[in-house]
Amino acid sequence: MPASPSTARAINDRLALRLLQQEGPLTAGQLKQLTGLSRPTVADLVERLTAAGLIAVVGESGEQRRGPNARLYGIVADRAHLAALDVRTEGVSVVVSDLLGAELARASVPIADDTGTGPAVEQAVALVERAAKEAGAERLHTVGIGAPGLIDPATGELRDSSGLPEWHRRLVAALQERLPARVTVENETNLAALAEQREGAARDRDTFVLLWLGHGTGAAVVLDGRLRRGASGGTGEIGFLPVPGTGALPSATDCEGGFHSLAGSAAIARLAREHGLVAAGPAHEPQAAALVRAAAATPSSPRSARFLDVLADRLAIGAAAVVAVLDPGCVVLAGEVGQAGGDVLAARVEERLVRMSPLPAEVRASTLGGDAVLRGALLTARDGAQDELFGPSPR
């Protein structure tokens, strides 16, 4: 059945907007060439999108004579402003961008363990408000939040998880009350995977697993181009995976004794001390990441080599379990530790997987590292805002 005129117009508009987003400003002639639409159809959609305030003339093409045919049209980037938050147990980071994702402001605030729920929420909300003001954003259209813990697939809300501060759950409601914006929340590891798929180490993969190595451990699963969350939103809770070498078993409320006990930041720091390693990284870098970075920079040193070998043994245990079940073909080592280990650590883990599993799996180091959560949150906020303003992407 042919599309109705209104549906055809919506599809054409979204196609033109997507091209302007990907290619930058274009003339009407260039839009005609790239879309394959007729000249009158392109003229109509340009007039329609301009009237809607979504595109505007931003210059003239040097390849054309002066006049209407030389006009360059671009998306009105300040049509909407977005914010992305990376919420950790120790603090919050925020980025504010325009509709095309260009960063306008960035800020962070530490939140101490003994900070009360109310003051912690206030610090985080005030941080967002200050960043929005710095960016010149009178109003935020969409706020995307990345947080540890499980996201309820039915409600989209952060579930009450043991070990996480109460202010994490309160923050979403507080932002919705204080800001005239749509607020969404997603698991931090899932957002990191989306960012690596769109902008990082997995750009050429539609099926892969991201192994998050930071303060804690987690995994995100992307199959056939789609992020998989599971029936309860818990896909990738690899920290609870029972593994050898811990001397205990995890429980429903505590991942100690699981993979977390081998690959969490505290376990990695202990392992480094056992091998006589010390490192002083940047003030913002976690100790475990600094230790791994120092070892990866001197892999021929006997101490560094032994430490990296044992760490790779540990990581391969968790990775092999995921590979055996999902056969993803690619594992990305992400988070601050994954990025710090780089190709040196990734190669060691891949070498062990070859011996442990009959299923081939390439192991890659993250190219986004600790920034992946913010990038993923910003990408999802941008996608949501563009779908609302531009109309859903044509399928």
Distance in angstroms (rounded) separating the CA atoms of residues 83 and 97: 6
Q: What is the pLDDT of residues 109-132, one digit of tens each?
A: 999 888 999 999 999 999 999 999
Q: Which residue has the tokens 């999802």?
A: 380
Give the contacts of 227 (CB within 8 A, at least 6 positions apart): 190, 193, 194, 220, 221
User: Which residues, listed in sequence order, are joined to residue 84 by a DSSP beta bridge?
Assistant: 95, 144
Sign of CA dihedral 200, 204, 210, 213: negative
The closest of 323, 221, 317 to 260, measured between CA atoms, is 317
Residues facing 226 on adjacent strands: 223
pLDDT reported for residue 163 = 64
| DSSP state letters, 305-374 | HHHHHHHHHHHHHHHHHHHHHH--SEEEEEHHHHHHHHHHHHHHHHHHHHHH-SS--EEEE-SSGGGHHH
pLDDT 10s digits, 173-208: 899 999 989 999 999 999 999 999 999 999 999 999
Rounded to whole angstroms, the Cα distance separating 259 from 201 reads 24
Q: For residue 350, what pLDDT band results from cuts at 50, 70 and 90?
A: very high
pLDDT at 309: 98
R_g over Cα of the chain: 24
Burial of 66 (0-12, 13-18, 19+ CB in 10 A): exposed
Domains of the chain: 3-73 (1.10.10.10), 80-188+372-388 (3.30.420.40), 200-366 (3.30.420.40)
Instruction: Please tell me whether residue 385 adopts helix, strand or coil conformation.
Output: helix
Structure tokens at 341: 């280990």
Question: CB–CB of 158/131 below 8 Å?
Answer: no
Residue length of the chain: 395
| Mean per-residue pLDDT, 375-388 | 93
What tens digit of pLDDT does each residue of 271-310 get?
Answer: 999 999 987 766 667 899 999 999 999 999 999 999 999 9
